[in-house]
Chain A
Amino acid sequence: MMASTIRGALRDNRALWAFGVLALTWLAAIIFAQGFNSVASVHYLVQTASFLGIVAVGQTLVVMMSGIDLSVSAVVALSAVVCAQVSAGSGGAVAILTALAVSVLVGLVNAAGLIWLRLPPMVMTLATGTVIAGALLIYTNGSPRSAQIPLLDSLANGSVAGIPLATILWLAIAAAAVWLLHLSRLGRYAFALGTSEPASRASGVPVPVTTFVMYAACALLAGVAGLVLLGFTGTSSLTMGNPYQLLSIASVVLGGTSILGGRGHLLGTVAGALLLTLLTALLVAWNLSEGLRQVSLGLLIIVLLLVYARERRTT
């Protein structure tokens, strides 16, 4: 009885699985690998996980309504490059606001394409991503700047009570997103859209508003991640967002959210991003070559997905 309840809970709550796997992996890392048992290592892990984590939280918002945002990588670079470029002339605060405004604009354009042009999310976000990458080349003439913005620097590298500020920002964003997705009315609409778009349209879900808010939020978060990254590295580059395109989607799915939408929990994504960062750190600690590292990461993702992220065959 007890066992079957637990089994039922596990089957229905794949986000819990993500936290379980994360705990096990971390335990294994502490026991079997060197250098994962210190406070400093935990500090560094949660700090580096926050860059991916912030993008992945945004990605969760759109995946839940059975969308996908392939332009996040471009937006990460866009926000950092724009911020670095503008700060040279007008100072940090203006630069940050401009970067965030441009990011939100990209999200709005994505949503507009989905709603008014009826494009599949993959095509639309892929296209905006390509356009942004090209626009950045023209804007920077191929050589983006570096920038030292004190606010971003302390945000990315500072800590309060031993917890990195970047991580605190990430968790605060995650909390806000939990409210948006799981407690607000718009969130319920997003879940409805993810389960069945025709049914939600028929029952009066305001599709345009939901789409605009979720895609704008996703792009905004990618922009925030770009700014934190800019603060962390002190320099912007045209390719700095590239890893986040696939990794953010992988975090969402490893966090137990169905890529088809409508099922999952945002907190699972937090575990997913931590898990991916931990796995990457482990592979680096084992001194594997770049190629072997990628192979192992790919295989590990496949195995983990097989363990707990399979779609039920009833659909």
Chain B
Amino acid sequence: MRNRLETAVRLSGRAARGNLDLVGLCGLLVVVLVVYQRLDPTLLEPATITILSAQFLPLILAAVGQTIVMLTGGIDLSLGAVLSLGMAVFVINTADGTMSVVTAMVIALAVTVLAGAANGALVAYAGLPPIIVTLAASFLWGGVTLIVLPQPGGHVPTGLVRAYNLGWYGLALPAIAIAVALVLWKVVKTTRFGLTLYAVGGNEHGAFANGVNTRRVKIVAYGLAGLFTGLAGIGLAIQTGSGDPTIGTPYTLNSIAAAVLGGISFFGGIGQMRGTLLGALLLGLLTNLLLFTGISTFYQMILQGVVLVAAVAVKTLATRERVA
């Protein structure tokens, strides 16, 4: 009884600490939003929200995918390549106009889910560390993308591009897409799979000993990451109106940065999706802020690096004493 109580206390302590991180992130986000509002008073108008959400959607969804993989204790270095792959498959199918956009989306998503699941199968069955598997896979999927779409091109129906970027009867389609994706994750998380996802990341041997099919969990997790990454690629294609076989590369590291900012642990099992969402929003807003201040965009990479180091360092140093 005492033991259980202690565990409960420790767990609630951990939850409070997790929320504290999120409170800190929220505070930072509010500060950034206030500054943003001063520089761009149209921030809360529907048109701006539509444009911003279209701009942030790829990073948010890619970070959601990366988070799912990181929760299992893995990492996906092929995410950028899979994102480009989804984009390439989508734009070549919409290019000639004979295929409906929805069919093209389904095909693109099927491809990225399969690519993700293949990564997962290698991680689960080959006994190779995820970082190595996905490193090799980044060559593989990057190559497949170049075969599908050798150079930038393809075409997305103009009507869709306009509706997506400028609003559709006053609705911000990208914002709705992000919301739907997050609800989808919420649903997934409440299932048995969602629980086993955290269990495998937290303690793989323990999960296995308790009858969790750890291999299947990993394959499904990487496949699910492929789904969100594919959605990110499709979003990017609709936003830009065409495809580019190498556009996804920066998303690999940016998605990791967003997840880490949001408090997802590298060792798996710890972290919440809302943290990742905040992390991705913060990265995106800060980048835009720099544009407003008129300093060269060259500085945005420096800022990203500094924000990443500062955020993670503050978090590690703040939690270290309590752990020790």
Contacts and interface: CB of A to CB of B under 8 A. Distances in A.
B138 A246 contact: yes
A311 B140 CA distance: 22
Contacts of B300: 134
B180 interface: no
25 contacts: A68-B131, A113-B309, A117-B313, A118-B313, A119-B309, A119-B313, A120-B266, A120-B312, A123-B308, A130-B304, A134-B298, A134-B299, A246-B135, A246-B138, A250-B135, A289-B147, A290-B146, A291-B143, A291-B144, A298-B136, A298-B140, A301-B139, A302-B136, A302-B140, A305-B126
B305 A127 contact: yes
Interface string A302-313: 100110011111
Interface string B109-147: 000000000000010001111011101111111111111
A10 interface: no
Name the residue in B302, B304, B305 with the highest tally of chain A Cβ atoms < 10 Å from its Cβ.
B305
Nearest to B296: A138
A142 B147 contact: no
Interface string B19-47: 00000000000000000000000000000
Nearest to B320: A118
Nearest to A113: B309
Interface string A281-295: 000000001111111
Nearest to B137: A298
B150 interface: yes
A170 to B, nearest CB: 23
A249 B140 contact: no
B143 A126 contact: no
A118 B127 contact: no
Nearest to B254: A130
A293 B129 CA distance: 24
B306 A131 contact: yes
Contacts of B306: 127, 131
Given A249-B135, A291-B146, A133 B308 contact: no
A241 B5 CA distance: 54
Given A134-B301, A305-B136, A311-B127, A295 B147 contact: yes
Contacts of B305: 126-131, 134
Given A131-B301, A260-B129, A123 B260 contact: yes
Given A289-B146, A294-B142, A297-B143, A313 B257 contact: no
A130 B126 contact: no
Contact of B298 (A122, A138, A298): A138
Interface in A260-298: 260, 289-298
Contacts of A295: 139-140, 143-144, 147
**Size class of the A contact interface (CB-based, 8 Å):** 35 or more
A135 interface: yes
Pairs A-B, 10 closest by C-beta atoms: A294-B143, A134-B301, A291-B146, A298-B140, A298-B139, A295-B143, A131-B305, A291-B147, A117-B313, A134-B302
Interface in A129-154: 129-131, 133-135, 137-138, 142
A253 B309 contact: no
A135 B301 CA distance: 8
Contacts of B126: 305-306, 310
A38 to B, nearest CB: 28
B132 A253 contact: yes
A310 B135 contact: no
A308 to B, nearest CB: 11
A127 B309 contact: yes
A224 to B, nearest CB: 24
Given A289-B146, A290-B143, A310-B126, 6 more contacts: A117-B313, A117-B316, A120-B266, A126-B253, A311-B129, A313-B127
B99 interface: no
Interface string B228-263: 000000000000000000000000010011001000
B312 A302 contact: no
Contacts of B127: 310-313
Given A117-B316, A135-B302, A295-B147, A301 B136 contact: yes
A259 B299 contact: no
B169 to A, nearest CB: 40
A298 B138 contact: yes
Interface in A210-255: 246, 249-250, 253
Contacts of B102: none
A294 B140 contact: yes
B184 interface: no
B69 to A, nearest CB: 14
Given A289-B146, A292-B143, A302-B137, A126 B301 contact: no
A27 to B, nearest CB: 24
B143 A293 contact: yes
B296 A119 contact: no
A311 B128 contact: yes
Query: Which of A126, A128, A310 is packed against the most chain B CB atoms within 10 Å?
Result: A126
Contact of A259 (B132, B146, B316): B132
Contacts of A306: 126, 128
